[in-house]
Amino acid sequence: MVFEEYVQSLEAFPHQASLSLTETFDAVCAAQDDLIAKIVEKGGTIAGWKIVDKDGVIILSPIFDFQVFANLGDSIAHHACRGTELEIAFQLTVPNKTDEVNQLVAELLPRAAVELIRPAIHPTNHSACDFYFNYGVFVSSKAVSGELVFEGGSQGYVFKADVASLLEAKKEVVKKGILQCIQRGYGNTDYFFITGTLNGLVPAAESLGVNRALNQDDAIIQFEIV
């Protein structure tokens, strides 16, 4: 599957704008699972999940294989995305049983990720179904520690975060995502999980040029917005 086919699938899907996470959460998940199944039927594979916290309710948003870019060297057209977001990610195999989750989460090592956010594909997007807005994502192949630095384009944007200070809260979020994966039948599979934006959306206009995520003086993610 390619991104254009994905867009067509989303545009054709019968959305229900009235669905409410707090009142009809199961209906939101069922509609989302139906859409995921249709995309998988057309050749897409779920590579990872973004865990979205909307009004205190956790919902998973899939990131498909064709949305995962090479860590180093990709170029992205600025008109394809609204901007970039720095994230903390975890790579793991989701178990089938919930009693394995606590030990799994305790042993997880954090990675860096950068998400590219695109304009809404469909006018009735549910605000919590973040995958409607996902153009692509970069996930570091190495674990990160200490200070994580994001340099956004040639406009002088720099953001810094201490990984250790974030880890406990991020692991709590990923635990909720793993449990929902098991509940919804997505267990026994290897995924990455993105656990929320560290720096908010950096607009594409401010991200023109080379963007880097740096850790231990090493560029673990690098791409160009042109």
pLDDT value, residue 119 = 77
Extents of the domains making up the chain = 3-225
pLDDT value, residue 23 = 65
Q: Is the dihedral of CA 179, 182, 186, 187 positive or negative?
A: positive
Q: Phi-psi bin for 166: left (phi > 0), alpha (psi -120 to 50), beta?
A: alpha
Burial class from Cβ neighbours inside 10 Å (0-12, 13-18, 19+) for residue 172 reads: exposed
Across the chain, which distance is largest between two alpha carbons, in Å? 48
Classify 119 as helix, strand or coil. Answer: coil
Across-strand partners of 53? 58
- Across the chain, which has 226 residues, the per-10-residue mean pLDDT values are 77 64 74 86 93 80 92 93 95 95 97 90 57 84 97 94 96 95 94 93 94 96 97
pLDDT value, residue 87 = 96
Inter-axis angle of helices 3-12 and 21-41, to 10 degrees?
130
Classify 111 as helix, strand or coil. Answer: strand
The CATH topology of domain 3-225 is Fumarylacetoacetate hydrolase; domain 2 (3.90.850)
pLDDT value, residue 101 = 97
> Rounded to an integer, what distance in angstroms lies between the CA atom of residue 204 and that of residue 85?
10
Report whether 11 contacts 122 (CB < 8 A).
yes
Burial class from Cβ neighbours inside 10 Å (0-12, 13-18, 19+) for residue 168 reads: exposed
CA angle at residue 137 from 26 to 177, to 5 degrees? 30
> Rounded to an integer, what distance in angstroms lies between the CA atom of residue 40 and that of residue 176?
24
pLDDT value, residue 27 = 79
Classify 12 as helix, strand or coil. Answer: helix
